[in-house]
Homo-oligomer: A and B are copies of this chain.
Amino acid sequence: MATRPATGVTIYQVAQRAGVSTATVSRALRNDPRISDPTRIAVQEAAAALDYLPRAAARSLAAGNRTHALGLVLPHIDGPYYADLLVGFETAASQAGYSVIITLANPRQDSRAAIRSLAAQVDGIAFMARSAARSDLIEEIARTRPVVTAARSRVGANDAFFVENEDVAEELTSHLLANGRQRIAFVGSPEPGSDLGMRHRGHQAAMTAAGLPTSTHPVFPSEQEGRRFALELLESGMEHDALVCGNDELALAVLQTLQQHGVRVPDDVAITGWDDTVTARYVSPGLTTVSQPVRQLGGMVVQRLSQRIDGADPTAEVVTLPATLAHRTSCGCNPTGGNNPNESNKELP
């Protein structure tokens, strides 16, 4: 039952047991059609009897340096966003015959070494959202192997995928305006180029088009900061009749905190989020938010990476996937109120 020593069963031992050369073992195990059935069976039996597992490293080195692995750099996974991205990525990768090696790297930490080491293990690598990797590191790696980015500012001429932010944000704010809201504020720190930054721009465009003044509360998009902001708002007296929050985490924290202090949503204030988390469907009132095709995004990134590995050049264009409004009741347009999950994913007409 003891694990074999580090240097376990090799192809030589399988060859010896089967009475053939290592070349034949190599071929038989990969079902090379040139090998005869009896030989193939003998080899497979020998391999099974010895629990032989061909070392991926040796195979990779011998077979033209392909690792058949894809790297994925993500920030730490909290919400469903990154989990879904990972699922989409892994599913597509395994279908395409790649394994996936992940590295979680938050913007703060120094992960140059970890990311370089990841790059050294894979045929191609994807950088997602606001993960640690700085642009110069990404450029350096891109000189070495195919690189694709997603939901983060483009690096060099590498392929880049996005989910649309600005237009949906404009649509969302317009919707609030159409329902009579006027004193609408954006909640979330709108760093230029970031997702929140783009959402903020779309929001502002709608406000400006309506001839209304804009108001922005630069709150870090976390539950904790959301609660703190809501309390501040309560102290200073609610001046807004709608809050467009940068993500669901923020929106939910604000929603719950305000409710706990007697504010009625959406009657007193409408609230919207972004990401369409599970909780958005369960809170009362149901949270109007934006749904993003995250799994699809993961799949498309893999597809592009795979093409690049097979020799394709980077495409010049940037791919932007559409996001859609998940229209529930916290936006205040639905006078019947009730949070009906059967309608939870309905879009605006």
Contacts and interface: CB of A to CB of B under 8 A. Distances in A.
A51 interface: yes
Interface string A262-279: 000000000000000111
Interface in A85-124: 86-87, 90-91, 94, 99-104, 114, 116-121
A61 B55 contact: yes
Contacts of A99: 101, 103, 114, 117-118, 121
Interface in A273-319: 277-279, 282-284, 308, 313
Nearest to A60: B57
A77 B69 contact: no
B146 A3 contact: yes
B284 A53 contact: no
A34 interface: no
B143 A51 contact: yes
A213 interface: no
A175 interface: no
B104 A94 contact: yes
A3 B145 contact: yes
29 contacts: A2-B313, A3-B146, A7-B64, A8-B65, A8-B144, A51-B143, A53-B116, A53-B144, A55-B65, A56-B57, A56-B67, A57-B57, A57-B58, A57-B61, A57-B65, A57-B121, A58-B61, A61-B61, A69-B121, A86-B86, A86-B102, A90-B102, A99-B118, A101-B101, A101-B102, A256-B339, A256-B341, A260-B340, A279-B283
Interface of A: 1-4, 6-8, 51, 53-61, 64-67, 69, 76-78, 80, 82-84, 86-87, 90-91, 94, 99-104, 114, 116-121, 140-146, 156-157, 227, 252, 256, 260, 277-279, 282-284, 308, 313, 338-341
